[in-house]
Amino acid sequence: MGQLVKICTMLLDSCLDMHGRSALLTSYVHYFKIAMKESKARSQLCKEMAAERNKPGSPETQKLFTIIEDMEKSSSHHQRVPCEAVPSTSNKSVHEELAELWVRSGGCAREMAFLNSWFFFELMIKSMAEYLSMTGRLYLTRRSRFSERFIRALDSLSAATVSEVITRLTKDPRQATSIANSWAFFVRDAFSLMDRSYVMGLVRDFNRDISAKISCIGEPAATTLMLLKLDFVRIVSSHEHFVILNLPFGPPLSIPTSTSSSSLGMSTGSSTVQLQAPSPECVSITSR
């Protein structure tokens, strides 16, 4: 698959965006539907899963389920699939299979995967979104949406991505930047689908490993890594629900305290006089 992505990018499509992504493949990911069949009625599956977990829903949750059922019944374009046609839950979804194969890959397959990492990360996000929509897990708690197997594979993929970024920095800084930016876009989109505390952990791990590498290497690699880290934070911060907090800091503890109120008053008075603007008569012509 990595070879196909390379061929589509290099030979079939000459229109690339600022991140080196093929417009043809971007449109493919955007419009292609990975899950070809509806797995089950979403509201019914949500009720079954809630009953299995022995967590009775609140009145607001039951009202939400009722609204969803009414919308599904009134929509004419939704085709319900009988339970016999539902695939087994043991089958892996695309994002799970892709993450596990990526982690276990080696040689040329691993090289092609990281060279075209943007496409596979976009494909994983698309599969994750369709998986939540088709199975009804979008209405569950965020920690219950994805399997532990996928979380473990994603942890391994996160560590492998940071390692590739650091390894390729001296060989090809452009490739390292491309991989880091692709991972940043994946993490940003994952905030809308996954447990946000877990996604923040991915952000923390990336920044921690990059900062550790910056502290033990010299210039100009340290500057390149710092710029790469700033780009990563900038991309993650572009999420629609990201809020920038401007937290005030107190005065430093090293400021000496005044010994007498008179000296404090004198210093305050003198500083007030110094801060006053000079009168127009005292302003020279050369300073205007």
Q: How far apart are the first and last CA of the chain?
A: 68
Distances (CA, A) of 218 to 67, 210, 215, 222, 223: 59, 13, 8, 6, 9
User: Is-above-0.85 flag for pTM?
Assistant: no
Please check whether residue 14 lies inside any domain of the structure.
yes
What lies within 8 Å, CB to CB, of 221 at 6+ separation is: 169, 170
Do 30 and 106 share a domain, yes or no? no
Tell me, what's the pLDDT at 208? 93
Contact 72, 78 (CB under 8 A): yes
Tell me, what's the pLDDT at 28? 72
Give residue-wise pLDDT tens across range 264-284: 344 444 444 343 444 434 433
Residue that is last in its domain, among 237, 254, 281: 237
Domain residue limits at 109:
94-237
Do 125 and 219 share a domain, yes or no? yes
Q: How far, in Å, CA of 64 to CA of 223, rounded?
A: 51
How much is the CA Rg of the chain, to the nearest whole Å?
Answer: 28
Do 105 and 222 share a domain, yes or no? yes
